[in-house]
Amino acid sequence: MAAIFPVSPLINFRRFTPCKLKAVTACKSVIKSVTGITKVPVTTEPIVRRSANYKPCLWDDNFLQSLKTEYMGEAIDARASALREEVRMIFNNVVEPLDQLELIDQLQRLGLDYHFHDEINRTLKNIHTGQKNETWEKDLHATALEFRLLRQHGHYISPEGFKRFTENGSFNKGIRADVQGLLSLYEASYFSIDGESLMDEAWSFTSNLLKECPENTVDLDLQMQVRNALELPLQWRIPRFDAKWYINLYQKSGDMIPAVLAFAKLDFNVRQGLNQEELKDLSRWWSRLGMGEKLPFSRDRLVASFFWSLGITGEPHHRYCREVLTKIIELIGVYDDVYDVYGTLDELELFTDVVHRWDINAMKELPDYMKLCFLSLINVVNETTYDILKDHNIDTFPHQKKWFNDLFERYIVEARWYNSGYQPTLEEYLKNGFVSIAGPIAVLYSYICTEDRIKKEDLEFIEDLPDIVRLACEIFRLTDDYGTSSAELKRGDVPSSIHCYMSDAGVSEEVSREHMMNLIRKKWAQINKLRFSKENNNPLSWSFVDIMLNLIRAAHCLYNAGDDGYGVEDVVAKDTLVSLLVEPIPL
């Protein structure tokens, strides 16, 4: 235990809120001297530090620099653009609405939709305003596909159409055998708006039936799709992470179009080549920083951080955003480990204060390992400020400084809770936790790095953490806890949402986990509601909100099935990362 020094009257408790008073006693040893400089007291007792036992990173710089692509250069570009125009022509020649919807769905899942935004938007708009399609009356799949795609793209459609498949408010037993229809209805149910009881019914009806999907009565590919959907629905997935899987499925399907298939494969490989170049640059940045070696207690997860940024925004022209997000995520992972694992409370109070002052001269007060943290932070913020100023003529420095301050303010609250053994309620925990997961800061950086025109009112809207941002970040927090809380609890960390609820409600971990899953679905439905509601004064574009939601989709993918796909690299590394970033599709 650190020695307790007499409390100076100048000690600064300004940032303590009443609910954390219990933790205050644990922080007495931070001293504010008359010069206003906070000091970590010298103690003769050895400092006992925790360890997260993270494995070393799987991808060293030499390996990343050795990645090569054959899919670059003029000949490849010419081939890609010929295929793109061929697919555009095919698209424009499809006239039946159901065929159009199927093609749009396929393009999205093949990862090609970003080439055809205009065509897709125009087509969906026509379908939305067009005549009701009588021929679909008995077709559950068509009804559900239309519902899902229209809502995905911001066209409100009522769930009334599904009433045709119900009797006395419950779904018809007659559709049990229609596995394709059930699957489509299941996917559509994730686009429900909070309060739509018919869609809740659709979700429980289809998920129960699909779980028992009769093994011998449907073909293997459909079975595989059902399993995949039960793992995570489309609305919670990043299509590009599954593009290879889907390309393989599409290749075997009856309505495969050769040009579409060829373009999907080529485009996948071209983007992989671009991503490899980006990763090489980032790996040079990271190995030059040397934080992996200097701070061996922390996560060294550059590729996983890049993967996250790729999930948030994968389109080739958002390269700059991926660069910044990867850096930010990588560094946040380290800072988070400083707060959660390695730092003593005294050191953390001091670090939080130095960041608050943002004074490079104060760096000398920090222990050596924290100097690297502080300087890396200042550097990345300065660099990003410069870039944005150069390109947009907007000074984002005060904003960025505030975002990190807000993050560390939440980190220190958790550190105080942990050190004083305080058990927050779920409500109290989430109030702090939706920021401490670094969701808001990731959303804000995504905003300033993707928008062509950064708007002050948009920035301020996000900074105020309105419901739509809060809900998204709460989902991020809940999914992270779902995947990481067991290990966190074992090594010693603040209790997670799962454990807060166990203590609040006196339930088992299993019951609490189920409750969290229901909460996550509920919060998604609330987000869907806000996206469609006209009253919430949300100035953000539909497409930016989608980028924000990609943050939590990536979280769903990384933390799926209760694993920590970020900290424990080999969970996703073996399959998804290699497949996405290293191995091209044979043409």
**Which residues make up the interface to Mn ion (CB under 5 A)?**
336, 340, 480, 484, 488
d(CA 349, CA 367): 12
Q: Is 484 in the site for ligand 0FV (CB under 6 A)?
A: yes
Report the candidate in 296, 288, 319, 297 with the shortest Cα–Cα distance to residue 306.
Answer: 319
Nearer to ligand 0FV, 64 or 444 (CB): 444
Q: Which does 105 bind (CB under 5 to 8 A by kind): ligand 0FV, Mn ion, none?
A: none
Q: Which stretch binds ligand 0FV (CB under 6 A): 70-78, 197-205, 326-334, 392-400?
A: 326-334
To the nearest whole angstrom, how small is the minimum distance from the Cβ of residue 322 to ligand 0FV? 12
Nearer to ligand 0FV, 340 or 353 (CB): 340
Report the candidate in 137, 128, 136, 151 with the shortest Cα–Cα distance to residue 98.
Answer: 136
Q: Is 566 in the site for ligand 0FV (CB under 6 A)?
A: yes
Q: Count the residues in the chain.
A: 587
Count of other CB atoms within 10 angstroms of residue 319: 17
Rounded to 10 deg, the angle between the 509-532 and 542-559 helix axes is: 170
d(CA 281, CA 304): 15
d(CA 54, CA 573): 15
Q: Is 308 in the site for ligand 0FV (CB under 6 A)?
A: yes
Taking residues 403 to 442 in sequence order and writing x for each that binds ligand 0FV by CB under 6 A, - otherwise, the string is: ---------------------------------xxx---x
Report the candidate in 294, 380, 284, 369 with the shortest Cα–Cα distance to residue 331.
Answer: 380
Q: Which of residues 329-358 bind ligand 0FV (CB under 6 A)?
A: 329, 332-333, 336, 340
Q: Is 307 in the site for ligand 0FV (CB under 6 A)?
A: no
With vertex at residue 151, the alpha carbon angle to CA 150 and CA 153, rounded to the nearest 5 degrees, is 70
Residue 405 · residue 353 · CB < 8 Å = no
Q: Which stretch binds ligand 0FV (CB under 6 A): 151-159, 219-227, 327-335, 499-507?
A: 327-335
State whether residue 70 is helix, strand or coil.
coil
Q: Is 300 in the site for ligand 0FV (CB under 6 A)?
A: no
Q: Which residue has the tokens 């987000």?
A: 527
To the nearest whole angstrom, how small is the minimum distance from the Cβ of residue 219 to ligand 0FV? 38
Nearer to ligand 0FV, 306 or 566 (CB): 566
State whether residue 38 is helix, strand or coil.
strand
Q: Which stretch binds ligand 0FV (CB under 6 A): 126-134, 207-215, 244-252, 325-333?
A: 325-333
Q: Which does 2 bind (CB under 5 to 8 A by kind): ligand 0FV, Mn ion, none?
A: none
To the nearest whole angstrom, how small is the minimum distance from the Cβ of residue 340 to ligand 0FV? 5
Q: Where are the alpha helices (DSSP H) in 338-396?
A: 345-357, 368-392
Task: Specify which residues 38 forms β-bridges with.
Answer: 32
State whether residue 370 is helix, strand or coil.
helix
State whether residue 537 is helix, strand or coil.
coil
Nearer to ligand 0FV, 30 or 438 (CB): 438
Count of other CB atoms within 10 angstroms of residue 484: 22
To the nearest whole angstrom, how small is the minimum distance from the Cβ of residue 3 to Mn ion? 26
Token duo for residue 104? 């749009």
Q: Which does 333 bind (CB under 5 to 8 A by kind): ligand 0FV, Mn ion, none?
A: ligand 0FV
To the nearest whole angstrom, how small is the minimum distance from the Cβ of residue 563 to ligand 0FV? 12
Size of the site for ligand 0FV (CB under 6 A): 13
Q: Which does 349 bind (CB under 5 to 8 A by kind): Mn ion, ligand 0FV, none?
A: none
d(CA 497, CA 15): 24
Taking residues 438 to 477 in sequence order and writing x for each that binds ligand 0FV by CB under 6 A, - otherwise, the string is: x---x-----------------------------------
